Amino acid sequence: MARKKRRYELGREPVYTHIGDRRVKMVRVRGGNYKIKVLRDIYVSVYNPENKKTEKVKINSVLENPANPHFAQRNIITKGAIVDTPIGKVKITSRPGQHGVLNGVLLQ
């Protein structure tokens, strides 16, 4: 028998993170918790595996994005995207639309 959707079956539109001055959105989720969604950000925390240090660097552009080839043209950042920074190419390891941060690993 057909029925309406229940509150616990709620889904939301995906948040596509762009390059620009930091802007976040807080969304209340199940259990009264909050998810911080990054709408725009210009900095990424980059972990360097050689010297085991993390530093905050500026994002120049998105080079490639395995989630969707068109995301690179539109400068959309998702997990797995490879971005260009002054210190080199960085692969994003966090989920900016869910975690509220941009973390990445420097590629050699």
pLDDT tens digits for range 22-65:
999 999 998 999 999 999 999 999 999 999 999 999 999 999 99
Indicate whether 6 belongs to any domain: no
What is the rounded distance in angstroms from the CA atom of residue 5 to the CA atom of residue 62? 37
Indicate whether 99 belongs to any domain: yes
Indicate whether 32 belongs to any domain: yes
Indicate whether 39 belongs to any domain: yes
Domain span at 45: 14-106
Q: Stretch 61-72: mean pLDDT, rounded?
A: 95
Q: How many domains does the chain have?
A: 1
Indicate whether 4 belongs to any domain: no
Q: Stretch 1-5: mean pLDDT, rounded?
A: 87
Indicate whether 3 belongs to any domain: no
> Running DSSP on this structure, what letter comes out for residue 77?
B
Whose CA is closest to 38, among 106, 105, 103?
Answer: 103
CATH of the domain at 75: 3.10.290.70
